[in-house]
Structure 1
């Protein structure tokens, strides 16, 4: 079975290989979100290294789980995605998708075990955070909710993988909630949603062809490009406003990440076959922005 034999304008069978399905470049989302929460709650923790290790492990497992189950709904669309493939080739692809789904469920299980361990240390308040997070991660692409296909992926990921993961990590570290945790989570949460939006922009034509009702398919490509630009710029505005209001430390370092925004920004207006790198390049921008943002917590204030 080869990509040349099975490839079509709708999909590439190589995306179901384990390494590609796991999407390791997207781990920047879980790692940076967890790290921000860890930093925010570090001084309030009586066992910071233990909690930090558990938070990072759980966050990474949850990200892998979401990535590995993400393509499970493609099984229903194999005839559309691979119209030139033989029945046996489509069965082979279905087996790869099923394998990834099972591995994703295993990652969910391990993340749940870590969550139960943390609940035993922090109490039942953490249980509700874990339940909301797990449900949001699983039903991203799974029925009966499948909020990605309802056009809700971008806003819900902002909350689930951004606000909730960051403030929840801070709560695990410190044992209490503060409004500042939620406010300081906003800039990075915006870029977490931006990474998902870049994925929808990259796959706009193929998603539309197979009936995937993502936000970009629903509102149209050009409006999603405008949304991408507004979100990218609003992350800078939010961080700088939070600094000026005294909620965050000096964060002007993030302006250096504008250099990394140039490449994905340019790809917004190119033809579909030249747009393939927009998601990893947006991921690189997210990583640089996030690293600079977190660095601002670790260096002495300049003002």
Structure 2
């Protein structure tokens, strides 16, 4: 198997491009709200997007490496091929790629730190640390049922509000503020982050339902291992349901009819729910995992367009 995979394809497998919507989605939504509020700053948005994607890829490298060295990725695992456990790329090479990717994210983030000051510095360093310690370090929280919380907070709340902040702060304050200038992180930015947070976490829930048995055998106590199948499926349903409740809240708050555009993606969510509630095998859940990522991206793009539309017409 190793000989059949080219180096380029191997690194593409390690980067897991199918997960990149989880990195792009919060930037898209945060930018949509920034456009609505006349705070759009294209350069800041572009840096936020590249930084978010690098953090996603770095986290993927970290998970690939640390899950392999901890023995969580076994031959019984039904998920997508992991390059470290599969012997496709040497473990130390994956580890170096992880640190290089996070290092590049930090380097590019210096511009956002210049604009956003101490809040962005803290968020950036915390995001890198969280990406590594998800499965790495002496106490990996992904092995203790906290992975869902990490994704919800960092790939949802922090990423959307942070994207909005780095654009709003260019209008509201001088470079490198020591704290959040007034009006740069409104309540709307936090509430708008909830659909991204919910759907991003739903991706992880599908992954953990699929891997529940092998994770339990390897001592990896994900939330799905702790809760069992039924409660994990209820969690998935609640997270996805929240993603459709929030646009209705924005519409009720006067953001215009266009903010309901994400509801057009509801049939895909219902179809995915049927799969998640009735299957545990990789044959069914691997496609569902990718389709949940597609749902996240489609919902986020529709939400961003709905938020921005009143300012563009």
TM-score by length of 1: 0.84
Offset at residue 78 of structure 1 (A): 4.7
Question: Take 1:35 and 1:152, find their aligned partners in 2: how far apart are those partners?
Answer: 26
Offset at residue 168 of structure 1 (A): 0.8
Offset at residue 211 of structure 1 (A): 1.7
Question: Take 2:293 and 2:14, find their aligned partners in 1: how far apart are those partners?
Answer: 16
Offset at residue 282 of structure 1 (A): 1.0
Contact 1:151 1:214 in 2 (8 A): yes
1:75 aligns with 2:68: yes
Question: Which residue does 1:286 correspond to in 2?
Answer: 296
1:298 aligns with 2:308: yes
1:213 aligns with 2:221: yes
Q: Residues 7-44 of structure 1: CA distance to partner in whole angstroms, max 9, x if unpaired? A: xxxxxxxxx93222211111111111012222333423
Contact 1:263 1:281 in 2 (8 A): no
What RMSD, in angstroms, separates the aligned Cα atoms of the two structures? 2.7
**CA 1:238–1:121 in structure 2 vs 1: closer, same or farther (change >3 Å)?**
closer
Give the one of 41, 44, 60 matched to 2:39: 44
Question: Which residue does 1:8 correspond to in 2?
Answer: none
User: Bigger CA drift: 289-298 or 117-126?
Assistant: 117-126
Greater RCO, 1 or 2 (C-alpha within 8 Å, sep 6+): 2
Contact 2:152 2:201 in 1 (8 A): yes
Offset at residue 100 of structure 1 (A): 2.2
User: Which consecutive residues of structure 1, in runs of 5 or more, have no partner in the other structure?
Assistant: 4-15, 84-89
User: Bigger CA drift: 244-253 or 111-120?
Assistant: 244-253
User: Bigger CA drift: 70-79 or 176-185?
Assistant: 70-79
Offset at residue 2 of structure 1 (A): 5.9
Question: Take 1:291 and 1:60, find their aligned partners in 2: how far apart are those partners?
Answer: 16
Contact 2:164 2:189 in 1 (8 A): yes
1:167 aligns with 2:175: no
Give the one of 133, 138, 144 matched to 2:138: 144
Contact 1:243 1:249 in 2 (8 A): yes
Question: Which residue does 1:246 correspond to in 2?
Answer: 254
Q: Residues 35-65 of structure 1: CA distance to partner in whole angstroms, max 9, x if unpaired? A: 22223334235xx222122111111111111
Question: Which residue does 2:150 correspond to in 1?
Answer: 156
Q: Specify the SS of the correspondent of 1:70.
A: helix
Question: Which residue does 2:173 correspond to in 1?
Answer: none
Question: Which residue does 2:265 correspond to in 1?
Answer: 257
Offset at residue 95 of structure 1 (A): 4.8
User: Which consecutive residues of structure 2, in runs of 5 or more, have no partner in the other structure?
Assistant: 4-8, 77-83, 170-183
Question: Which residue does 2:93 correspond to in 1?
Answer: 99
Question: Take 2:161 and 2:19, find their aligned partners in 1: how far apart are those partners?
Answer: 20
Give the count of matched residue pairs: 282
Q: Residues 218-238 of structure 1: CA distance to partner in whole angstroms, max 9, x if unpaired? A: 111221012111221121112
Give the one of 223, 235, 238 matched to 2:243: 235
